Amino acid sequence: MTDTPLAPAPIRAVKTPKVGIVSLGCPKALVDSERIITRLRAEGYQIAPDYAGADLVLVNTCGFLDSARDESLAAIGEAIEANGKVIVTGCLGAEPEVIQRAHPKVLAVTGPHQYEAVMDAVHTHLTPPHNPHLDLVPESGLRLTPRHYAYLKISEGCNNRCSFCIIPKLRGDLVSRPIHHVLAEAEKLVAAGVKELLVISQDTSAYGLDIRYKPETWRGAEYETRFLDLARGLGSLGVWTRMHYVYPYPHVDNIIPLMAEGLITPYLDIPFQHASAPVLKAMKRPGNQDKVLARIANWRRDVPDLAIRSTFIVGFPGETDEDFEILLDFIREAKIDRAGCFRYENVAHAESGKLENHVPAELKEERWHRFMEVQAEVSAARAAAQVGKTLDVIIDEADDQTPGGWIGRSKADAPEVDAVVYVASRNALKSGDIVSVRITGADDYDLYGDVA
Ligand code: SF4
């Protein structure tokens, strides 16, 4: 079950209906769960911390990889066994027959982002309280992340058609949120204590394309619904802002000056997936690696601290030894600082399953290990180069293993997926503090230092 940062429950004469939430999948699904609990609380429902205390359980599923589908189905089964009243939503909800076949006792199934349908299903199976205490809901909404960072979802869906991906089938084409709504949400989050915004979508650099970059007004100034104006607006809020899921389109160059000025965190999460032209073509991804390398070199010239995170797939159907070597060379040359690597897996209904020359499992495994070794070398070189510097570090939590120790992150690290900085401090710190840390040591990924 997911813990939620809720205010203490008010004393009530009547029993308040309680909903439990199990949130699976990626940060985008987490944001969906946050929206759902915000709506539930706005209507006066309480969020139960465990199955036993819940009158009904909502399972927000992921349907991307076969392993995620299995995990979702297992979570639904667990919730049915422990509680009995279960509503399913999220990506796997786009295939209700799969869920109902495995778990006929499920009360209702709704697809991704169907907030209204989820609320209708909850109302049907758990009568809403008569007297909702709207004032219990903080203006920034309710979140499942710690208080000091928040995911900011700017759009749903995707216009690309990568052959290994079924997200457009599950979530549809790109639908951008108007920029004044996104900026107003960010402003509320910052007012509520958020120190770090993580911008997410399926394709952040395509933001606004579907609504022709419609101009809107925020704080008396005009902003177009587009990536650059989003960065300008968020940059004016004075907190760390990380851009996730950015494609290396030429217009990404425009936000580099905002990073050089310190308005946007010098961090780009670009899911390259591969570097070899034939593989990228089979993946149906845009890509000209020469231009990408030249662009990255220019970015680093202007913003020397820039950290680049990416994800890659090894063992894609048809990937030859030569393709794989090209990928390794790219990691070294582009100095991809942080990388997630997946062994190719057939996703149900994805086009890539029908491609020829699937790579044997042992070879995929071998390539994965070689990839991780090369990436560790790149990461270790970056980490070693930080020793002796003083970096801003955002504190996430106390280090249970070390008295007086804290765990935080530099600007080069996003929460959950990247490295950490182990910080020694004579004074007590708290989550969300941003402190100057003198870096004294490093391993392949993590840094060690003292509060300066
Ligand atoms: S960009 Fe490609 S991988 Fe990402 S969501 Fe869109 S189709 Fe899927």
DSSP-assigned letters across all residues of 247-294: ---GGGGGGHHHHHTTSS-SEEE---B---HHHHHHHT----HHHHHH
94 Cβ closer than 6 Å to some ligand 1 atom = no
For residue range 303-313, list pLDDT tens digits in order: 999 999 999 99
**Average pLDDT of the residues in 355-383:** 95
At 6 the three-state DSSP class reads coil
- Angstrom distances, CA of residue 309 to CA of 130, 154, 236, 338, 448: 48, 20, 24, 4, 21
Alpha carbon of 432 to ligand 1 centroid (Å): 32
**Average pLDDT of the residues in 357-374:** 96
Tokens 């993580």 -> residue: 198
pLDDT above 60 for 111: yes
- Which amino acid residue places its CA nearest to atom 1 of ligand 1? 160
At position 243, the amino acid (one-letter code) is: M
pLDDT above 90 for 320: yes
Alpha carbon of 270 to ligand 1 centroid (Å): 12
- Which amino acid residue places its CA nearest to atom 2 of ligand 1? 162
pLDDT above 60 for 22: yes
The single-letter DSSP state of residue 20 is E
Alpha carbon of 285 to ligand 1 centroid (Å): 9
Q: Taking a C-beta distance cutoff of 8 angstroms, is the pair 379, 322 a contact?
A: no
Q: Which atom of ligand 1 is nearest to the CA of 158?
A: 6
- Which amino acid residue places its CA nearest to atom 4 of ligand 1? 202
pLDDT above 90 for 213: yes
Give the pLDDT confidence score for residue 142 in this predicted structure.
63
77 Cβ closer than 6 Å to some ligand 1 atom = no
280 Cβ closer than 6 Å to some ligand 1 atom = no
Q: Which atom of ligand 1 is nearest to the CA of 171?
A: 5
156 Cβ closer than 6 Å to some ligand 1 atom = no
Give the pLDDT confidence score for residue 288 in this predicted structure.
62
Give the pLDDT confidence score for residue 141 in this predicted structure.
64
203 Cβ closer than 6 Å to some ligand 1 atom = yes
Q: Which atom of ligand 1 is nearest to the CA of 284?
A: 2
Alpha carbon of 159 to ligand 1 centroid (Å): 8
Confidence label for 5 from pLDDT (cuts 50, 70 and 90): very low
Label the pairing between strands 86-90 and 56-61.
Answer: parallel
pLDDT above 90 for 438: yes
Give the rounded percent of residues in the chain with a pLDDT score beyond 90: 63
162 Cβ closer than 6 Å to some ligand 1 atom = yes
| Distance from C-alpha of 244 to C-alpha of 340, rounded to nearest angstrom | 13
Q: Which atom of ligand 1 is nearest to the CA of 164?
A: 3
**Average pLDDT of the residues in 377-382:** 94
Alpha carbon of 164 to ligand 1 centroid (Å): 8
Give the pLDDT confidence score for residue 289 in this predicted structure.
64
| Distance from C-alpha of 271 to C-alpha of 141, rounded to nearest angstrom | 29
Confidence label for 210 from pLDDT (cuts 50, 70 and 90): very high
Picking from 39-48, 279-288, 401-410, which range would have the lowest pLDDT averaged per residue? 39-48
**Average pLDDT of the residues in 8-37:** 72
Give the pLDDT confidence score for residue 422 in this predicted structure.
97
**Average pLDDT of the residues in 201-205:** 91
Tokens 């509503």 -> residue: 87
**Average pLDDT of the residues in 194-203:** 94
Please state, rounded to an integer, the average pLDDT across all residues of the chain: 88
Confidence label for 371 from pLDDT (cuts 50, 70 and 90): very high
Q: Which atom of ligand 1 is nearest to the CA of 161?
A: 7
pLDDT above 80 for 151: yes
In the chain, what is the straight-line distance between the N-terminal and C-terminal CA atoms, in Å? 39
